[in-house]
Amino acid sequence: MDQRGRSAVRLDRDFRWEGESRPSRRQELFVAGEHGQVYPLLAEDARLDRSSDLTTLFETARTHLLIDVP
């Protein structure tokens, strides 16, 4: 995956917190920085139905994510 010309890895996963019966969804993006840093972007939502805005929120944040900017 590419994030504005940088190597990136995206993970989308469903999971359950310990003691919770409802699953949660997490979207993560890890972007390689210029000097070996890794920049993470994380969005998580406990609602796994169509009312969740998680994907829209994540994509908006990803669009505006700036890497290696002082």
**Rounded CA gap, 25 and 41, in Å?**
14
Q: Once rounded to an integer, what is the mean pLDDT over residues 14-40?
A: 89
**Rounded CA gap, 32 and 24, in Å?**
26
32-64: per-residue pLDDT in tens?
Answer: 998 888 999 999 887 766 667 888 888 999 999
In the structure, what pLDDT confidence band is assigned to residue 69 with cuts at 50, 70 and 90? confident
Contacts of 12 (CB under 8 A, 6+ apart): 25, 26, 27, 28
